[in-house]
Amino acid sequence: MKLQISGSSIELVQGDITRQATDAIVNAANASLAGGGGVDGAIHRAGGPAIMRETRAKHPDGCATGQAVITSGGNLPARHVIHAVGPRYGDGRRGEPALLASAYRRSLEVAAENACRSVAFPSLSTGAYGYPIDEAARVALAAVIDFLRQHAAIELVRFVLFDETAYAAFRRAAAELLPDGWGCKWSHPSCR
């Protein structure tokens, strides 16, 4: 599934983010940048120890929630890893949407600052951090669409969604945010 926004493309795919040959992939990192499970663990396993060494050397104080930092991609097909820290979900009224949007926006800003033209994202904060996937998908897509409408530096943003549940949630959010732009109506079975 692909959409054009101001000369840039947004893609939704189901797959493995560690196999993306984009300029950068985004890691769902924790604030200490100490590695972990889920997407974070998969990226560090696939990319090798060079990513963690560089993270510790360049960012010894970690990264605040809603922010992002960059390292090389180690053994990954991507040249860079952007480590973004999304919020832990409480009740949705403690600034979580703004912090999640900021993590996506800062990732794109960091990508642009480092001449990355293509970026692959996982669904930030929806694993161990407990952000409801339907809410997170709307925040993620809205933040990326807004960024692309204002900046031409990024040519491709690909959401690499691990399973059918996440993929379906992002399709529903896309249909809600841009009902005519995706060629996908609510009556279509894959958008329900």
State the chain's mean pLDDT as an integer. 92
pLDDT of residue 178: 81
pLDDT of residue 186: 35
Please name the residues in contact with 90: beta carbons below 8 A apart, sequence gap of 6 or more: 96
Give catalytic residues, as residue numbers. Answer: 40
Task: Kindly report, residue by residue over 24-67, the tens digit of the pLDDT.
Answer: 999 999 999 988 889 999 999 999 999 999 999 999 999 999 99
Tell whether the model's pLDDT for residue 190 goes beyond 90.
no
User: What average pLDDT score do residues 67-92 get?
Assistant: 97
Please name the residues in contact with 39: beta carbons below 8 A apart, sequence gap of 6 or more: 17, 27, 28, 122, 127, 162
pLDDT of residue 180: 67
pLDDT of residue 152: 87
Q: Which two tokens stand for residue 2?
A: 């692909």
User: What average pLDDT score do residues 61-85 get?
Assistant: 98
Burial class (CB in 10 A: 0-12, 13-18, 19+), 84: buried
Determine what percent of the chain is predicted with pLDDT higher than 90. 84
Nearest to 137 by CA among 83, 177, 180, 192: 177
Question: Which has more confidence, 188 or 86?
Answer: 86
SS3 5: strand
Question: Which has more confidence, 6 or 95?
Answer: 95
User: Could you tell me the pLDDT band of residue 185, with boundaries at 50, 70 and 90?
Assistant: very low
Tell whether the model's pLDDT for residue 6 goes beyond 90.
no
CA 43 to chain centre: 13
Contact predicate 158/121, CB 8 Å:
yes
d(C-alpha 127, C-alpha 130), whole Å? 6
Please name the residues in contact with 103: beta carbons below 8 A apart, sequence gap of 6 or more: 65, 66, 67, 68, 84, 85, 86, 87, 124, 125
User: What average pLDDT score do residues 97-102 get?
Assistant: 98
